[in-house]
């Protein structure tokens, strides 16, 4: 059984568990509403989630450095404080766009939900997705009861397990997610996002690039050689243990590194117009001597029609 199948089974159990509670907690006439037929996920206002929250440890696990949180499913790290997140130009662009979003914003792989919280603060309705249901419960804990009315918790596997209506989203955020995806998964996801977005909708992506100071010397020459040879995904399948040995305890076995070239190529292939690109400084979260301000690469693209 591969990891995708395991995740789909786990998330199906989680959803069924919630729905079982909901059927006992509400009257039949309101159940259709709670099932949320547009597939956004579980409404964050559900009191059942309060009961699940009581079964979790008070706080999620800290990283060894104490500068970030470790994801429970070993898919990387998440920031501790909102201020650190806002230092990213891409996050600021996401927040500004959220202020005018008339349809929901979808965050894929939202970890502990701090970016979803920023989008909610900006006035957007948010579909907060993550493979690990516990992350969603922790994230909801930091959202005020009034804002939960505009929040949905979504544990479906992206892209294959997620179903949304065409032209139903204003924006999609993939912040530090794409480097955990296989090329075919990523392309399938971009194609689906194109269908889900309204005309003028945007996709925001941040990914680990081969220029990252902590592993540039280990990967960049190989990456460039593969690209020159015509490999459209030259950063696929680098060993986490080899390139980030101090962080490998909280990462999957392999990472998919990307910079502007493959990202622009696939976005244009599926009909997006690239609006903005650039590196994102993450020096403060690691060894500053090894970091150069190129720890993430960000890209913003628009669906024209």
pLDDT higher than threshold 50 for residue 4: no
Q: pLDDT grade, residue 283 (50/70/90)?
A: low
Q: d(Cα 175, Cα 285) in Å, to the nearest integer? A: 16
Q: Is the dihedral of CA 161, 167, 173, 178 positive or negative?
A: positive
pLDDT higher than threshold 50 for residue 93: yes
Mean residue pLDDT of the chain comes to 87
pTM above 0.85, yes or no: yes
Instruction: Map out the domains of the chain with their CATH numbers.
Output: 3-303 (3.40.50.150)
pLDDT at residue 253, as a whole number: 96
> Comparing 81-95, 106-120, 197-211, which segment has the lowest mean pLDDT?
81-95
Over the stretch 155-204, which tens digit does the pLDDT of each residue have? 889 999 899 999 999 999 999 999 999 999 999 999 999 999 999 999 99
């Amino acid at each position: 059984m591969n990891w995708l199948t395991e995740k789909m089974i786990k998330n199906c159990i989680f959803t069924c568990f919630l729905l079982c509670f909901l059927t006992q907690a509400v009257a039949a006439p309101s159940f259709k509403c709670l099932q949320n037929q547009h597939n956004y996920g579980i409404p964050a206002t559900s009191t059942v989630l309060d009961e699940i929250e009581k079964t979790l440890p008070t706080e999620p696990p800290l990283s060894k450095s104490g500068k970030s949180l470790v994801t429970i499913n070993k898919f990387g790290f998440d920031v501790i404080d909102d201020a650190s997140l806002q230092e990213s130009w891409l996050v600021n662009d996401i927040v500004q766009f959220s202020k005018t979003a008339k349809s929901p914003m979808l965050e894929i792989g939202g970890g502990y939900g701090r970016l979803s919280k920023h989008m909610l603060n900006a006035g957007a309705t948010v579909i907060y997705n993550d493979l690990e249901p516990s992350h969603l419960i922790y994230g909801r804990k930091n959202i005020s009861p009034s804002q939960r009315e505009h929040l949905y918790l979504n544990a479906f596997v992206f892209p294959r397990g997620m179903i949304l209506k065409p032209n139903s989203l204003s924006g999609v955020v993939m912040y530090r997610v794409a480097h955990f995806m296989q090329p075919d998964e990523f392309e399938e996801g971009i194609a689906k996002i194109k269908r889900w977005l309204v005309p003028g909708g945007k996709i925001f992506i941040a990914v680990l690039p081969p220029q990252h100071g902590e592993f540039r010397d280990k990967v960049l020459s190989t990456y460039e050689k593969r690209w020159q040879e015509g490999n459209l995904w030259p950063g696929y399948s680098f060993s986490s243990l080899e390139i980030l040995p101090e962080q490998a305890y909280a990462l999957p076995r392999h990472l998919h590194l990307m910079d502007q070239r493959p990202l622009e190529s696939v976005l244009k292939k599926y009909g997006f117009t690239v609006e903005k690109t650039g590196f994102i400084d993450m020096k403060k979260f690691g060894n500053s001597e090894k970091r150069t301000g190129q720890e993430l690469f960000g890209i913003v693209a628009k669906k024209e029609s």
